[in-house]
Structure 1
Amino acid sequence: MRRTTVLTAAIASLALMTGSGIAFGAGEKEKDMATIPGGEFTMGGNEHSDEPRHQVVLDSFLIDKFEVSNARFKEFMKATGHPAPAYWDDPRLSKPNQPVVGVSWHDATAFCKWEGKRLPTEAEWERAAKGPSGDNHYPWGHSLDPSKANYGQNVGRTEPVDAYPEGVNGFGLYNMAGNVFEWVSDWYDPHSYKRSNALNPQGADKGYNFANQGPVKVLRGGSWLAPETSLHTTHRFWNQPENNSYGVGLGFRCAKSAAPIVHADQAGRDAFIQALISMGIEKYPDALVSIEQALKADPSNKEYAATRDLIKKSLKK
Structure 2
Amino acid sequence: MKKRVLITGAAGFLGSHLCDRFIKEGYRVVAMDNLITGDLKNIEHLFPLEQFEFYHNDVSNYVHVAGELDYILHFASPASPIDYLKIPIQTLKVGSLGTHNLLGLAKAKNARILIASTSEIYGDPLVHPQSEDYYGNVNTIGPRGVYDEAKRFQESITMAYHRFHGLETRIVRIFNTYGPRMRLNDGRVIPAFMGQALRGEDITVFGDGKQTRSFCYVDDQVEGIYRLLLSDYSDPVNIGNPHEITIGDFAKEIIELTGTDQRVVYKELPQDDPLKRKPDITLAKEILDWEPKVTREEGMRITFEYFKTLSKEELDKREHKDFTKHIRR
TM-score, normalising length from structure 1? 0.26
Larger Rg: 1
Higher RCO (CA-CA < 8 Å; seq separation 6+): 1
Instruction: Name the one with the larger helix percent.
Output: 2
TM-score, normalising length from structure 2? 0.25
